[in-house]
Amino acid sequence: MPDLRGAMRTPWKAWNEVWRWLAYPRVRLLFAMNAIPWGSGWRIYGVPVIQKHRVSRMIFGPGFQLRSLLRSNPMAPNHPVVLSTYRQGASLEIGANFRMTGGNLCAAQKIIIGDHVVIGANTTIVDTDFHPADPVGRWVKPSDGRAAEVVIEDNVFIGMNCLVLKGVRIGRGSVIGAGSVVAKGVPSGVIAAGNPAVIIGELDSDRLLTK
């Protein structure tokens, strides 16, 4: 009865589950077509966009959760989650109990995300500039921008509408404020925000979760 009462009080959550199950066959087929093994405890709301280079890899841990449906989150994704390995040899590796609403994960080289990471609505994480900085390079090799590995450690929370750029490492347990542009590394156990993001506070190190 408690579950039924909860569903009556928040009917949109019940509808989210209905739409999740209706989309389930299509979502399973999408992951299978991209040779991505289906994991335990996955909950995919709406159909994500997967752009996987044939010579690349995507690895997602248990408890993987994506929200692409407009109604699946009060913060309303402005487009489906996009998962992309942009170049040959690229790698997108995500640990257990990952949560993301809308937004983009695009790896030209490598993006590594640890366990229990939560990413707010419409955030973009990229490890590449996509295009060269010089005009000649953009004309000759328009997709040959520089790339550098991105690492997001365990228990990080990234707020909505953030941009995390190439070469960034965000330390364990840190929080990135909404609307931030993260262009440099962030140590463990801090709050960072702004454009560019800077440290604005520290978290209680005794309360940071460990594996």
Judge if the upstream peptide bond of residue 196 is cis by omega within 30 degrees of 0: yes
49 within a domain of the structure (yes/no): yes
pLDDT attached to residue 102 = 96
What is the pTM (predicted TM-score) of this model?
A: 0.90
126 within a domain of the structure (yes/no): yes
77 within a domain of the structure (yes/no): yes
211 within a domain of the structure (yes/no): no
Measured distance CA(167)–CA(126) in Å, rounded? 9
Q: Using pLDDT thresholds of 50, 70 and 90, give the confidence band for residue 128.
A: very high
Q: What is the average pLDDT across 8-37?
A: 92
What is the CATH number for 93? 2.160.10.10
114 within a domain of the structure (yes/no): yes
Q: Using pLDDT thresholds of 50, 70 and 90, give the confidence band for residue 130.
A: confident
210 within a domain of the structure (yes/no): no
Report the sign of the C-alpha dihedral through residues 82, 120, 189, 126, in that order: positive
Split into its structural domains, the chain has a count of 1
pLDDT attached to residue 206 = 60
Report the sign of the C-alpha dihedral through residues 70, 40, 31, 18, in that order: negative
- Told to judge if 131 belongs to the known catalytic residues of this protein, a careful annotator would answer yes
Q: What percent of the chain has pLDDT over 90?
A: 76
Please identify which of the residues 53, 79, 116, 131 carries the catalytic annotation: 131
Q: What range does the domain containing 119 cover?
A: 2-205
199 within a domain of the structure (yes/no): yes
Which whole-number Å values give the CA distances from 13 to 109, 117, 165, in the listed order?
A: 37, 22, 33
Query: DSSP code of 196?
Result: T
Tell me the pLDDT tens digit for each residue of 71-126.
888 888 999 999 999 999 999 999 999 999 999 999 999 999 999 999 999 999 99
Task: Pick left, alpha or beta for residue 74 (phi over 0 → left; psi -120 to 50 → alpha; otherwise beta).
Answer: alpha
Q: What is the average pLDDT across 184-201?
A: 97
Residues 6+ apart with CB under 8 A from 207: none
Locate tokens 């066959």: which residue? 25
pLDDT attached to residue 199 = 97
187 within a domain of the structure (yes/no): yes
Are 199 and 170 within 8 A, CB to CB? no
Q: Using pLDDT thresholds of 50, 70 and 90, give the confidence band for residue 9.
A: confident
The residue type found at 100 is M
Show the tokens assigned to 14: 């019940």
